[in-house]
Amino acid sequence: MTRPLIAVPARFSATTSALRYAAEVSARALIEAVWRAGGEPASIHPASGDVAARLARFDGVLLPGGGDLAPHRYGSADIHDSVYDVDDLQDTFDLEVAWHTLDLGVPLLAVCRGLQVVNVALGGTLEQDMGGPEREHRHSVHPVPIGPGTLLEQATGAEKAEASCYHHQRVDRLGEGLAVTARADDGTVEGLELPGAKGWFTAVQWHPEDTAHRDPAQQGLFDALVRAARERR
């Protein structure tokens, strides 16, 4: 059976040793998790324009992690000192991908920055910094309770997940129609979904790809995406 085609927006990288110069990259662990799930991951070039038409050929979309969104994207005139790796083209493209994927009903899994992009695309805001090293979720693995009856619970098959996190920002005001499916003990939103969405969609603030190779709950997120993509096709 032909593998469902899963679009993965590329991330800009200033340097890559094997290629000598700037490059477009995808995290290998993320790509391998999609492949294990039975999907065919395909990197797509961040370029504004005709995004809906470009996405229509895919069976599913994985919106990955990356740098911070520019604060003006959610109405903030101030920029916290900790905001990093902002790229205007990347922001424009990711926001269009989030909006058009949901509008088309294409199955969507959003990870870390991806969750924040979806929240902003739907009119939500972000807390630019969670409060420094003592509060941020960087290089942190912590338990996250999962809401019962949610798509996140169905995908992971768990009531609680061990979340591998790397973020210093978090959701502030929820985007229109979004519902929280998981929270950390400190109140940080760790999961979102959109009740009534046209297609399968779930988002997590953590990086499931970090441990998916040994944790069935984390791999379950990629399995669910590819399963939904196959059913849509």
Helix (H) or strand (E) holding 164, with range, is strand 160-167
Looking at 112, 165, 168, 190, which residue is catalytic? 112
207 among known catalytic residues: yes
Looking at 100, 137, 167, 207, which residue is catalytic? 207
19 CB-contact burial (10 Å; exposed 0-12 / middle 13-18 / buried 19+): exposed
209 among known catalytic residues: yes
| Residue for token pair 């509060």 | 135
Q: Are 125 and 173 in contact (CB under 8 A)?
A: yes
User: Shortest CA distance to 115 belongs to which of 170, 70, 59?
Assistant: 170
- Token readout for 147 is 């809401």
Looking at 96, 153, 190, 209, which residue is catalytic? 209
Buried/exposed code over 65-86 (b: 16+ C-beta within 10 A; e: otherwise): bbebbbbebbeeeeeeeebeee
Active site residues: 112, 207, 209
